Structure formats: structure tokens, C-alpha cells
Copies of this chain bind each other. A is one copy, B any other.
Amino acid sequence: MKLIDGKQVAAQVIEECKQEIAQLKEQGIAPGLAVVLVGDDPASKVYVGSKVRKCAELGLHSEKIELPADATHEEVLAVVERLNADEKIHGILVQSPPPPQIDEDAIVRAIDPAKDVDGFHPVNVAKLALEDATGFVPCTPAGCMRLLKEAGIETSGAEAVVIGRSMIVGKPMALLLMGKDSNATVTVAHSRTKDLAEVCRRADIVVAAIGRPNFVTADMVKDGATVIDVGINRVEDASAPRGYRIVGDVDFDAVSPKCAAITPVPGGVGPMTIAMLISNTIKAAKLAQ
């Protein structure tokens, strides 16, 4: 069994980004990322903090815009519009989820698609479906694809089962895997799938993105399959320093012995997300020239 080391692959992506940043610097171009945080959700604060820190570490221009929890929809919109017009900013990210008075879909649609480094704007959703390489692929599925590639997993002709049909992970992952760059035979399974275990057992590649701790059990995975675990779930654990620990959607201990390759949680897909965000920001800066 091969452990797919997301930290290592992410470090490699970051290294490539550093080189690209240096090259762009020679041309007088400094990629810039703006991260908008509305309210004070502790998890969102942590995510935003690590994104901004990573930018600083790479010498990437970044801006953190914090709005109070009672900010109006119009105030958030005004920030997005200012950032759309700001030539120093190539990527804009509004941390999800915003407070309930904010219409998140409308905010996403207000972001200039050319700066939508999260890849959630309809224009980028369409480009993904149309296999138009000028679009931005959402960071998590982009990271999963990169992990498969670095682990040397053949996707062409492979049977892939994606569990979950969200627009954040499941659907884009399915579109990427079935596209002409990957050529996998893709099944999208979800909460309404009958005999999910049987469907999953067909897969050479399982992508688990359901958001339920330890959902994928050993009987759902065939011998020699590759498993990509997108889940990040907190489970109570009195023995853990914070009273909880992070587990994936896959029962790692039971499933991993059967696998040809598997991503751990943490240390698998997770570290890839920020790396792909940085990579998308550099792409946006290049396309803006």
C-alpha cells in the first residue's frame, strides 16, 4: 500500500509556484490574492489565516479584508467590486460560509470570473464542463487530480466512483475524471444510490466526498483500488488535546490495507487545497497580462 503524501505533493506545487512567482517578478508582475472574511467563525478565521500566511511566505501580494458579522450583503458586494477593479489583485476569495444575511451565490456571481480563483463562478463551472483550459478549477478537485497524477495512478480507462455530487467537489471531480485529459469511466454515487457498497467495489479509483466520518468501509473497496479521501470531519475524542480529532470520509485503518494507494486524513487532500489556490492565483495573474 502506497500512502499518497499530500504534504509532499503540496510542497512540490508550492515550489513550482515559487519559481513562477520569481519569473513573473522579473517581468514586473506580482500576483495578488484578496481574501474576504465576513464575521468571526473560528474555523473560517483559521482557514483565512493560513491562506494569507502562505501568501506571505511565498512573497505573494495578499490582502485580508475583514468585515463584521453584521455586515450587509451590499457591503460585501461593494468590497468585491472594489477588488474586481483593483489591478494589484488577481484572485478574489470570499471565505465560505458567510453569515446568513449574505447571499453567497450572488457574491460568487459578482466576482470577476477572471479573478475567481475558487472556481465557483458559473463561467468557470461552464469552462470546466466544456473542458476550456482558461477556466479555474475548484481547488479541492484540482488537488485530487494532482495527487492522482503524482502518485502515478492511471486514470484512462479506469473505473472511478465519486461519492458525493456537490458543486464544490463531487461534480467537478466527475467532470475532470471523465474529460479528455483523464478518460476515466466515472460513476457519481450519492445518498440515494442503491447498494453503494457494490457500486464502490467496482472502482479502481474511489473519491470520497460525502462529509461523513469513516463512511467508506473495507467492504466498499476492492483490492488494489486507489482511494482519495476528501473528508475533513471532527469527531469527539476525549483523549485528544482539543477534545476532538480530524478524520476523513474513509475508515483509513480498515480500508488502507486493501488499497494500492490511499490519501491519509490529515495530510492528504487537505494540504493540496491552499497549494492549488496559490497556483490558480498565479494562473490568474498570467492570464491578466
Contact = CB atoms under 8 A, between A and B. Distances in A.
Interface of A: 122-123, 125-127, 129-130, 156-159, 165, 167, 171, 174-175, 178-179, 183, 185-190, 192-194, 199
Given A126-B122, A130-B125, A178 B190 contact: yes
A167 B125 contact: no
A280 to B, nearest CB: 18
A122 B128 CA distance: 10
Contacts of A190: 178, 183, 185
Contact of A126 (B126, B159, B187): B126
A193 B188 CA distance: 15
User: A-B pairs with the 7 shortest C-beta distances?
Assistant: A122-B126, A183-B192, A187-B187, A125-B126, A185-B193, A126-B126, A157-B194
5 contacts: A122-B123, A129-B171, A174-B174, A178-B188, A185-B193
A167 B129 contact: yes
B185 A199 contact: yes
Nearest to A157: B194
A167 B199 contact: no
A186 B174 CA distance: 10
Contacts of A127: 122
Given A165-B178, A185-B190, 10 more contacts: A122-B126, A125-B126, A156-B192, A157-B194, A165-B179, A171-B175, A174-B174, A183-B192, A185-B189, A187-B188
Contacts of A171: 129, 175, 178
